Structure 1
Amino acid sequence: MPQKILFVCLGNICRSPAAEGVFRDLAPEFTTDSAGTSDWHVGEPPYGAMQTALRGRGVDISDLRARQFTPSDYDRFDLIIVMDTDNHFKVETLRPTGCQTPVRLFTDYAAATQADHVPDPYYTRDFDGCLDLIAQCATGLKQALDAPD
């Protein structure tokens, strides 16, 4: 069973830190981190509006800082979760030869939705809708990880 999980989006200031925060709150027994495929926000805290929306749900991600995804993440994590197909492609282009670490779309774990990606609230401004979907995905991911092999 994967014990170390990395959540990945574009800038690592909205979706992936939110996913990390929601999942670590739900399943603290797992080691989590988040990263972005771009270097736009490296070292910055999560986006203020996302932090506010999460605090309203009792989740604090103020300790997180943005970082960029690197090929070494394949060795450091057992499972890589991406927020959309564009970031899935970017992560896969960095896959080291012979590496078998699985990369999955977060929405693959949301049984109650037909969504094929987690929309970026930095652009949509729908932080609550994004967090509703992230919560569904996080619950589904935990259930999948807790299921017997």
Structure 2
Amino acid sequence: MSLPKQRDPQGPYRVAVVCLGNICRSPMAEKVLRADLERAGLGDRVEVTSSGTGDWHVGGAMDPRAASTLRVHGYFTGHTARQFRPSDLEQADLVLAMDLDNHDEVSAAVAERGPEYGFDASRLRLFRSFAPGTGPNPEVPDPYYGGDDGFTAVLNMVEAAAKGLTDELDRYLGPED
């Protein structure tokens, strides 16, 4: 799978991860992806943000279960939830939705305001589509209403997808000059 072209070759490649409330899946994906990018030497060449399509948790911290799961596995957990805005399309090179509902929400924003920001549907994908062997609808399920094991399962999915995406970004960006 090839990545969309970088909109500003002089700046970082910008990845935005989107879920429903921005307290579980997308911040977990943001933290894991940032860590993988740092390990690959791409931390200063790729910018990662996360947001949610809903506004219930704006300004709040990450779900304690998500934070605990990340901490146990050695990831940074600082986070303040924010809501996805159509204007986010102005900067993003790639928007990654965690499930089909989030994809549909962002897709509606792309259809309505994307051209205004130079953003088209080819820049919108499912996050887990970067993990090998995920099938035709590679969603990351929402663990919010379940137990701790759901957060661990999400972390495993996110780690596989983040590794695949990091490998793609490494190939796309090539060696630093």
CA RMSD after TM alignment: 1.6
1:83 aligned residue: 98
1:143 is aligned to 2:167: yes
Contact 1:112 1:136 (8 Å CA) reproduced: no
- Note the C-alpha offset of 1:100: 2.7
- Note the C-alpha offset of 1:148: 4.4
Once residues 78 and 51 of structure 1 are traced to their aligned partners in structure 2, the CA distance between those partners, rounded to angstroms, is 27
2:83 aligned residue: 68
Aligned in 2, Cα 1:87/1:58: closer, same or farther, shift over 3 Å? Answer: same
SS in 2 for 1:120: coil
Once residues 33 and 100 of structure 1 are traced to their aligned partners in structure 2, the CA distance between those partners, rounded to angstroms, is 17
* Cα deviation 1:29-87 (Å, max 9, x = unaligned): 2211100000010000100011000001100122x111110011001211111100100
* Cα deviation 1:94-141 (Å, max 9, x = unaligned): 121423350110111110433620011112331111100000000011
Once residues 116 and 148 of structure 1 are traced to their aligned partners in structure 2, the CA distance between those partners, rounded to angstroms, is 22
Instruction: Find 2:146's aligned residue among 124, 127, 130.
Output: 124
Once residues 14 and 55 of structure 1 are traced to their aligned partners in structure 2, the CA distance between those partners, rounded to angstroms, is 13
1:108 is aligned to 2:108: no
Contact 1:109 1:141 (8 Å CA) reproduced: yes
SS in 1 for 2:140: coil
Which 5+ residue runs of structure 1 have no aligned equivalent? Answer: none
Structure number with larger C-alpha Rg: 2
SS in 2 for 1:122: coil
* Count of residue correspondences: 148
Matched-pair identity in %? 39
1:59 is aligned to 2:75: yes
TM-score when scaled to structure 2? 0.78
